[in-house]
Amino acid sequence: MIEFINTLEIEFEKHKNAKIALEQKAYMRHQFQFYGLKATVRREIQKPFFIKEYLPQKSEIEHIIKTLWEKPQREYQHFAQELAFKYVKQLELKDINLFEFMVTNKSWWDTVDFIANKLMGEYFKTFPNQKEKYVTKWLKSDNMWLQRSALLFQLKYKNKIDTVLLSSTINSLLNSKEFFINKAIGWVLREYSRTNPNWVIEFVNNTELSTLSKKEALRLLK
C-alpha cells in the first residue's frame, strides 16, 4: 500500500507542469494545489495503477483513499475517487461512510459530482433500502455538498429514478439560496427530461423553482 502511493507520487512529480498548475489553481478559486496535470495526462499516468492484477485489496481502499485525500495536490483526490470506482462491484454496506467522508472533506463540485453520481449512485442501487435514511440525514445537515449529493446520486438513473424521493428532496431544498443546490435541482430535472419529459414539465409547472433551477430543468425541452 505504501509502495502504491509512493510510486504514484513519483509519477505525478515527474510529469508536473508549473504553468498549467497555476491556471488550474486559479480556475478552482485557489482552494487547492495542483501538479498541473491535465485530465488526459493524469489518466494516462494512472493506467498502470488501475490494471486489475495490480489493484490493492478492497480492505486497503479506505486507508489509501483517506491518505490521498489528505495530500494537497488535487490530482490525488481525482485519482482516489476514480480508484474507488474500480470497486463498485464489491460495495459493502459500510462504504457509504467513506463516500460521506470524501464529499465533506476538500469539497468542491469536481469531486462531489463524481462521488454522488458514480459512487453513491451505485451504492444505492446495491443497497436501495438505505436511500431514504441517508437522503433524510443529508437534507437535515447543514452541509451543502451532502444536500447536492442527495439530488445528484440519481442523475443517471433514467427510468429507474425514484420520482417520489426526487420530488420530496427538491421540495425540501426549494428555499435554498445556494447556487450549487439550485443548479443541481435543474440539472437532475434536465437529465430526467431525456427519459420522461412530461413528468418534468408537470413538476416544473407545479413547483415554485428558482429561476436558475427552472431554466436548467427546461433547457432540453424548448
The pLDDT tens digits for 35-61 are 999 999 999 999 999 999 999 999 999
Give residue-wise pLDDT tens across range 105-139. Answer: 999 999 999 999 999 999 999 999 999 999 999 99
Give residue-wise pLDDT tens across range 58-79. Answer: 999 999 999 999 999 999 999 9
**C-alpha cell at position 191:** 437529465
Residue 184, SS3 per DSSP: helix
Class of domain 128-222: mainly alpha
Pairwise CA distance, residues 63 & 65, whole Å: 6
With contact defined as beta carbons under 8 Å apart, do 35 and 13 qualify?
Answer: yes
Q: Where are the domains of the chain?
A: 1-90, 128-222
Residue 157, SS3 per DSSP: coil
Compute the half-sphere exposure of residue 130: CA atoms within 13 Å on the CB side of its CA: 17
- What is the fold, at CATH topology level, of the domain defined by 1-90? Leucine-rich Repeat Variant (1.25.10)
DSSP type of residue 33: B
DSSP type of residue 90: G
Tell me if domain 1-90 and domain 128-222 are identical in fold: yes
